[in-house]
Structures are given as C-alpha cells and as structure tokens.
Amino acid sequence: MFERQLAIVTGGASGIGFGISEALIKAEYDVVLVGRNEERLASAAKKLGSAVQWRCADVGRRADMERAVGDFERVSLLINAAGFISPVSLVMPLDEAESNWDAVIDANLKGSFLSAMLVAPKLKSPGGTIINISSIGAQTGGSRPGGLAYAAAKAGIHGLTYALARELAPRGITANAIAPGFIAATGFTGAWPEDRVAEIVAQTPLGRPGTPADVAGAVLWLASEAGSFVTGTVIPVNGGWRIG
C-alpha cells in the first residue's frame, strides 16, 4: 500500500512557506503547518485542503514546539520557513535594537534550531530531509540599512545547515538551505514601493522578481531522489541578483 510522506512546514501559512506547502500537497505529501497566527493557519489549511493539518506555535519557544510536533512519529521532510524581519541598525536606541534583535534571532534562527532538534529523531532514515529557508541577505547584509539582525540570523542558518548535514549524514538524512532573492507578493515584500521593486528587478539578470513557486521548485528537487546526494549546501534562488 502506498504510504504518503509527511512534511512539517514552519511558517507554512503564508508567503514562501505557503507556496512550498501548496507544492508539497501537489506532490502528494501530507503537510503540517506550524505558525503563530491561528486565524492565518486555519485559512491556509482551508485553501490547501484535506491533506493539511496545522499547529499553532511560536517556533522560538521550546514548549510550543514540543507540543506542535510531539505527536508525530515519522516525518519525511522538515521545512524551516518561519521568520520575519524587524529593523535593527546602528542609529537606533539600544533598547529598541536589542529587543528587535532578540525577536528576529528567536524566530529565524532559534526556531530553526528547535525544529531540527525536535524533528530530527523522527526523520525517515535513510531518506529524510531538512531544508532551511535562508535569504540573500545572509550574504549581502540586506538591500537597505536595518538588516543587522536579519542578516545575522540568516547567516546563522547557513552554519546550522552545515552542522546538521554533518551530524545527520550517517543516518542517510540530508540538510540543505535555500537562499531566495527578491520574492514578490509575500509578507516581507508585498508592501515594498514600486520604485524599489523596479530597482531590484533591474539588477536581476533574469529580469523578473521571484515567486514562492520558484523556491518550492528547489524544495521539491532537494526532497526528491534526484537531490539525495546533495547535503550541506546553500542553493541561491535569486534570478542571478548576486551577479547583477
């Protein structure tokens, strides 16, 4: 009998995470969405259909994540897509900068760490996969001032990915990261002014913004048999923006 694979997607109710969840369902995965906003989770699950469950949890809080994933025994794929950006720059008052720093690190980096720690023992062995969603900002520092915390968190995702790949390899489990460039119409970018978007597109050799489906395509490849010999790497999905 065919056994459907289970994927846990943090941040799966919106933006890139939702696009990944949608692609996984089309690829016949069962999907568990994890996020902080119960209303958004319920709405996303309704759109995605009967193959979806959801768990409300703050990924940066251990007790939340233990409750969210504790009842799953066998997982094929963990996608760490949860995160947000909050400005941190050298010109801000230190109290505000420190508060924003802690929130960004918790959501983007600590959340990925906790998810990996809790799900790794449940991953199919061999054949399980962890994919962390990073950002071009890990390499550029961001396209505007204010990216100190976000760039640091996403750079930390790269180091976490390399270490996970090393520890999980003996079990036949892969760990990789995807670093998107400009992805249009997400919670991060949906409100960006048109002139800023036009500037970025002009710097992008492929001449268009990315979409969540572009990131999802890389996820599906890494999670497939075709990507099974790829581990400990960061794959840019940015239309060539870094060389533009």
The overall average pLDDT reported for the chain is 94
Angle at 69 between CA 63 and CA 71, to 5 degrees: 110
DSSP 8-state class, residue 88: B
Q: How far apart are alpha carbons 6 and 38 in whole angstroms?
A: 21
Q: How far apart are alpha carbons 164 and 235 in whole angstroms?
A: 16
Strands of 234-237's sheet, edge to edge?
Answer: 52-56, 29-35, 5-10, 77-80, 129-133, 174-180, 234-237
pLDDT recorded at residue 213: 96
pLDDT recorded at residue 160: 98
Mean pLDDT along residues 199-203? 89
Q: Is the pLDDT assigned to residue 190 strictly greater than 70?
A: no
pLDDT recorded at residue 49: 96
Determine the straight-line distance between the first and last CA of the chain, rounded to whole angstroms. Answer: 49
Phi/psi of residue 82, nearest 5 degrees: -70, 145
- The rounded Cα 107 to chain-centroid distance in angstroms is 11
pLDDT recorded at residue 197: 85
Residue 189 banded pLDDT, cuts 50, 70, 90 = low
pLDDT recorded at residue 185: 75
Q: Is the pLDDT assigned to residue 1 strictly greater than 60?
A: no
Mean pLDDT along residues 86-100? 97
Distances (CA, A) of 118 to 8, 75, 121, 136, 180: 11, 11, 7, 27, 25
CA-wise closest residue to 197 among 189, 188, 187: 189
The catalytic residues are: 150
Mean pLDDT along residues 83-102? 96
Q: What is the pLDDT of residues 101-127, one digit of tens each?
A: 999 999 999 999 999 999 999 999 999
Q: Is the pLDDT assigned to residue 186 strictly greater than 90?
A: no
Q: Tell me the CB-side half-sphere exposure of residue 222, using CA atoms within 13 A.
A: 29
Higher pLDDT, residue 243 or 1: 243
CATH of domain 5-243: 3.40.50.720
Q: What is the pLDDT of residues 38-59, one digit of tens each?
A: 999 999 999 999 999 999 999 9
Q: Is the pLDDT assigned to residue 214 strictly greater than 90?
A: yes
Distances (CA, A) of 66 to 70, 82, 91, 103: 5, 16, 38, 19
Q: Is the pLDDT assigned to residue 4 strictly greater than 90?
A: no
